[in-house]
A and B are shown apart, each in its own frame.
Chain A
Amino acid sequence: GESVGLHLPTLSVQEGDNSIINCAYSNSASDYFIWYKQESGKGPQFIIDIRSNMDKRQGQRVTVLLNKTVKHLSLQIAATQPGDSAVYFCAASLNKLIFGAGTRLAVHP
């Protein structure tokens, strides 16, 4: 099966700083990965995805890095804003998405 874990349960950053959220996965056969953002009382919101044939993908203020050698995934958020405060989940796909426990990002002014 697949298990996905996060290194830090909470992350506190200053507004304007860059944030890095890490994630490890266990099954090397996973070939599609997604980062979701979940605000309180809402459903997960797609942020960015990456396939296993890539090692980096950039979006607007976000970058996902994939290191298949060590089965590690990270989400980088540039110039973190108060609106980025939420719980962030990584998920790995092997016909179904397996979610990690989540990292709570707290942005301080």
Chain B
Amino acid sequence: NAGVMQNPRHLVRRRGQEARLRCSPMKGHSHVYWYRQLPEEGLKFMVYLQKENIIDESGMPKERFSAEFPKEGPSILRIQQVVRGDSAAYFCASSSEGGFRTEAFFGQGTRLTVV
């Protein structure tokens, strides 16, 4: 049973380009969470999704950021027109039950660098 898979591990984008980050949850998990981490800081909640539904997006910036978790395929975090301030590590986690009532497993993250 593979863990949470994120790709790419490293992503470099020029300012103004789009960044697409992918997250495949653990087998049997239907709840996905995205977090952002700046160097030497904790993880900041961005969005919580269940299959085909956004449950809580209170941590998502209002513009340029979007997330989806389709019925088939991985969850996607999309950042349009990236700026230098978007440079960070983005982690996703998955769980079998929603609302972090049970153990959630994290992927290894995607490190986005905007140049």
Contacts and interface: CB of A to CB of B under 8 A. Distances in A.
Contacts of B43: 44, 89, 91, 97, 99
Interface class of chain A by DSSP = strand
A96 B91 contact: no
B106 A45 contact: yes
A95 interface: yes
A43 B109 contact: yes
Interface size range of chain A in the complex: 20 to 34
Interface stretch (B11-19, B67-75, B97-105): B97-105
A91 B100 CA distance: 10
Contacts, number: 59
Contacts of B6: 43
A98 B46 CA distance: 11
B105 A46 contact: yes
B91 A32 contact: no
Nearest to A98: B45
B48 A96 contact: yes
Contact of B103 (A34, A95, A99): A34
A81 B42 CA distance: 23
Given A43-B109, A45-B106, A99 B44 contact: yes
